[in-house]
Structure 1
Amino acid sequence: MFFSRRILGRVGRGGRKKKVLRIGSRREMITPTHFLCPISLDLMKDPVTLSTGISYDRENIEKWLGEGNRTCPVTNQELTSYDLIPNHAIRRMIQEWCVDNRSHGIERIPTPRIPVSSSEVSEMCARLEAATGRGDHQECLELLGKMKGLAKESERDKKCIAESGAGRVLSACFQAFSTENKYEVEDLVKEVLSALKWMFPVGEESKSMLGSKPSLRCMAWILKGQDSSAKRNVVIVLKKLLSLDHTYANILAQVDEDVPQALFEMVKSPTCPSARKAPLEVIYRMVASSPEANGKFVKMGLPSLVLEILVDAEKGVAEKALAVLDGICESQEGRDNICSHPLTMALLVKKIMRLSEMGTELCVSIMWKLLCKGEDENQVVEALELGGFQKLLVVLQVGCGENTKERATELLKLMNLYQDRVQCLHNSSGFKYLKKSY
C-alpha cells in the first residue's frame, strides 16, 4: 500500500505530472507523461498492459511481480491475471515521438523482441535431445547458439530457458559427447559448459550426468588446457555441482591425478583477484572429501600460497581461503605444514572479528585444530603473545555458534596453562574489538 501511494503521489490522482527534459541551456522539452512507466518514471522501452488497464515498462513490472507482489502498483487492485499484454499502440507512439525529436538528441527506442515462451524452449530442447541421440555435433552446436542468443535478450528469457528443462538436456548432451574424441567436439562441450553455469540448481538426473566419470574426466581435460575462459566456466560448474553433492569431489580427484595441479595454478595465477573464489571452493570440497587430494595439495605448497593470499585478500576470497586451510587441517601432514609457516598464527589472530561471522568461525576452527590437536607449545605461546586470548574472549562475548563457542572455550583453557610464559597476557587492548560488528 505504501508503494502504491508513493507512485500515486508522483503521477498525481487527477492527472499525471509532466516530465521535463532539459536540452542545452535555453530549451526545454516536455515528455508526454503517458509515455513514462509509472514505476520508474522513465520512457517505456517495452510497454505492456496489466489486467487493470495500466501500462508499464516490461522490465519494471516483471521485477515487481517477481518480488511476490500481486497487485497493480498504481491502483493497488488485486490482479485477476498476471499476463502482460504488449501495448503496440503506445509503443509506436513513443517511437514516432523519438523520431520527431531526434534533433534534440532523443534516440529511437528499438522494437522489442517478443519474449521466448516455455513451449518454444521445450521444442528447442526436444530438437537438441534428438540431435544428441544422433551424435550430430554440428546441429547441437547450432541449437545451443540459438539458445544462448535468446538468453542474452533478457533475464526473463534466461530464466525461462533454465526453468523449461534446458539444464537436463544440456547435461545429457555434455555427458554424451564427453565420451567422443574430445578434440573433435571441443567447441561443443565448451559451449555447453558456458550455458550450464547459469542453469543451476539442476535436478537429480542432471546432477548424476554431470557427476559421471566421463563428464568429470572431460572437465578435467579442459582444466588442463590453455583456454582461460573455458577453464573459468569449468570451475564455476564444478563449484555449483559440488555444492549440491560433495561426494563428486572424491570422484573428480580420482578421474585425473592432474586436477589438483590445474586448480593450484588457477589460484596461483588468476586473471583477476576475484577469479580465485571458484577454484578455492572446488579445492575446499576436494581436500575435505579426499585424503589423497589433501596430501597432493599440501605437497605442492598450497598452504603457503593460501596464507600469502590471506594477507590482503578481500572478504569473499579470504573466506574461501580460510575454508581451504580448515580442510587441510584435517590431516596431520596438513597441520604440520601450516604450523611451519611464520605467518600462520599472526594471520589467524588478526582475521578474527575482521572479516565476517563465517570468517571468525573458520579462524577459531583452524586455531583449535592446530593448537588442541597439535603438540607444539610454541604455537600456543605465539597465539598468546599476538593477543589471541583477548580475541577469543571477545568472540564469546559478542556471541557465536555452539560449536565455535565450545572450541573457543577449549582454546582459552589451553592458553591459560601458558599464561606465566607471556608477560602481556592481560593487556586489555584486545577488547577494542568489542565495538566491531560483523
Structure 2
Amino acid sequence: MVRDDLYIAVPSFFRCPISLEVMKSPVSLCTGVTYDRTSIQRWLDDGNNTCPATMQVLHTKDFVPNRTLHRLIQIWSDSLRPHRVDSVDTDSPSSPSELPARDQVSDLIQCMDSEPSSASSLDSLSKALCLCVDFIGGGDNAVDGAQIGVLEQAVTIIHLLLDDEIQEREELMRWMLKKTGRDCLASLLVVLQQGSADARIASARILESIAVNAEAKFLIAEKDGLLSELLKLTGPEKDPTLIEAGLSCLIAVSTPRRVKVRLVHLGAVKWLSKLLGDPNSATSTIEKVLKVLEMASSVKEGRAKICEDGKCVAGIVQRLLKVSGAAMEHAVTILWSVCYLFKERAAQEAVAKANGLTKILLLMQSNCSPAVRQMSADLLKIFRVNSKSVISCYDTKTTHIMPF
C-alpha cells in the first residue's frame, strides 16, 4: 500500500544536513548550524573537529538543544497525522482540515520569548516564519473556532518575527508573498474577518510589513475583500489601536495609482470623513486619516469624492490648525490639490463656507515650512474677492496671530 505521506514535501530545514532525515532531536553547534543529535554526535565521535555543513573548525564541540525547531517539527508532524492512512494514533485529529493544537503554537511563542538572543534561536525564528506561513496558507473562508484560534496564533508568531531585527527579514517577506501568494492572503483575510482585535491588528501589521514594492501592493489590493476589511478596521466605533493599524496598512498599500482608485471606489472618503469629524480621534489617527485623504486627492476619482462630501472638506479645514505639524501639512496639501491645482469649484465653496480663508491666513503666520507657506499663498490667490472681503479687511499690522 502506498503511504500518503510519501507525497508530502518535508521542509528542508527539518532535515538533518548529515542524514537528510527529519530531525528527532535537533541540536545546534557553535556555528549556528543545526543537526540531529545522533548524527552530529557520531560525526564528532569519529574524531572530526569541523562543522559538516560549513567545514569551519569548531572552537568547542558542545552543542545546545534547538527547542524552537524541535517544537516546529512536532507541530508539523502533528498536522500531517490526518493524512496518514496507516496511522493508529487514537489521539489524531478526526478531520483532515484540522490544524495543530492551539497550545502547541502557544508553547512555540513562549519558547521564542525565552531564547531571544541566541544565534540558533534567530535561525529557528526565521525558519518558523516559513512554517507558520504554510499553516496560514491553508486557511479558507469556512473555518471553525478552533482553526481561527490556531490561525490567530500563527499570525501572532509572524508578526513577532517581522518585528524582530533579523538578517533574513526582507528575504522572508519576499518569500512569504512569492511562495504562498494568494493562499496566505486568504488566511490573513479570514483573521481580519473573524479574528480577535489583537489578531486583526497583527494581520494588518503583517500586510503593512510585506507591502515592500509595487508587486506586493498590487497582490494585496487585488485580493477580493482584503482592502474593504482593512477599511472596516477604521470605523469610529473601533478600538484606537485597531484603527491606526488599519490606516497604517492602507497608507503602505495605497501608493500605486490603481490601488488608490480601488480604495476610493470602496468608499474610503466617506469612512475617513467620519473619523476626521470624530472629536475623540487621537492626533496620530488624524495624521494618518489626512495622509490617506492626501493620497486619494492625487487621483481624479478621489478628488471627486472629496468634493462631493461637504463634511469631508469642512473636516479638513477644521484640522488645519491645533493638531500637529504633520496634520497641517497633509491638510494644506489636500486643499491645495483640489482647490488650486485642479480648481474644483465645489471644494472652493466648501472651504470658504468653513471659514477656511481665516485659517489659511493664520497658518501663514505660524512657523510652517516653506512648502506649506507657498501652498497657502497659492490658495489665497484662488479666493481673491472684492475690497469688502476678509482679505482686504485683514489688519497687516497684526503680526502675532498664532494658531497654537
Report TM bin, short chain.
0.5 to 0.7
d(CA) in 1 for partners of 2:184, 2:400? 48
Shift of 1:281: 1.9
Equivalent of 2:234, from 249, 267, 282?
Answer: 267
| Amino acid paired to 1:220 | L
Contact 1:391–1:433 (8 Å) recurs in 2: no
Aligned length: 310
Shift of 1:404: 3.4
d(CA) in 2 for partners of 1:297, 1:268? 15
Matches within 5 A, 1:316-327: 316-327=284-295
Counterpart of 2:66 in structure 1 is: 123
Counterpart of 2:107 in structure 1 is: 146
Matches within 5 A, 1:200-215: 200-201=163-164, 203-212=169-178, 213=181, 214-215=183-184
Shift of 1:357: 1.0
| Change in 2 beyond 3 A, CA 1:305/1:129 | same
Equivalent of 2:264, from 298, 306, 310?
Answer: 298
Matches within 5 A, 1:372-391: 372-384=340-352, 386-391=354-359
* Secondary structure of 2:389 counterpart: coil
* Secondary structure of 1:268 counterpart: coil
Contact 2:126–2:172 (8 Å) recurs in 1: yes
* Secondary structure of 1:288 counterpart: coil
- 5+ residue gaps in structure 1? 1-118
* Secondary structure of 1:223 counterpart: helix
**TM-score, length of structure 2 as denominator length:** 0.64
Shift of 1:361: 0.7
Shift of 1:125: 3.5
Counterpart of 1:352 in structure 2 is: 320
Matches within 5 A, 1:214-363: 214-225=183-194, 227-242=196-211, 245=213, 247-254=215-222, 256-268=223-235, 270-289=237-256, 291=258, 293-311=259-277, 312=279, 313-363=281-331
Contact 2:230–2:250 (8 Å) recurs in 1: yes
| Change in 2 beyond 3 A, CA 1:299/1:433 | farther
d(CA) in 2 for partners of 1:160, 1:434? 58
Contact 2:72–2:108 (8 Å) recurs in 1: no
**TM-score, length of structure 1 as denominator length:** 0.60
Contact 1:167–1:206 (8 Å) recurs in 2: no
Q: Higher mean Cα deviation, 212-221 or 359-368?
A: 212-221
Counterpart of 1:364 in structure 2 is: 332
d(CA) in 2 for partners of 1:364, 1:162? 51
RMSD in angstroms over aligned alpha carbons?
Answer: 3.7
d(CA) in 2 for partners of 1:374, 1:223? 37
Contact 2:255–2:295 (8 Å) recurs in 1: yes
d(CA) in 2 for partners of 1:300, 1:411? 30
Post-superposition CA distance 1:84-142 (Å, at most 9, x none): xxxxxxxxxxxxxxxxxxxxxxxxxxxxxxxxxxx97x813333554577684677966
Contact 1:125–1:169 (8 Å) recurs in 2: no
d(CA) in 1 for partners of 2:338, 2:257? 20
Structure of greater relative contact order (alpha carbons < 8 Å, 6+ residues apart) = 2
Post-superposition CA distance 1:243-280 (Å, at most 9, x none): x55652221012x2211222232222654244211112
| Change in 2 beyond 3 A, CA 1:133/1:409 | farther
| Change in 2 beyond 3 A, CA 1:144/1:434 | farther
d(CA) in 2 for partners of 1:245, 1:162? 30
| Change in 2 beyond 3 A, CA 1:309/1:406 | same
| Change in 2 beyond 3 A, CA 1:424/1:258 | same
Identical-pair percentage: 13
Contact 1:197–1:237 (8 Å) recurs in 2: yes
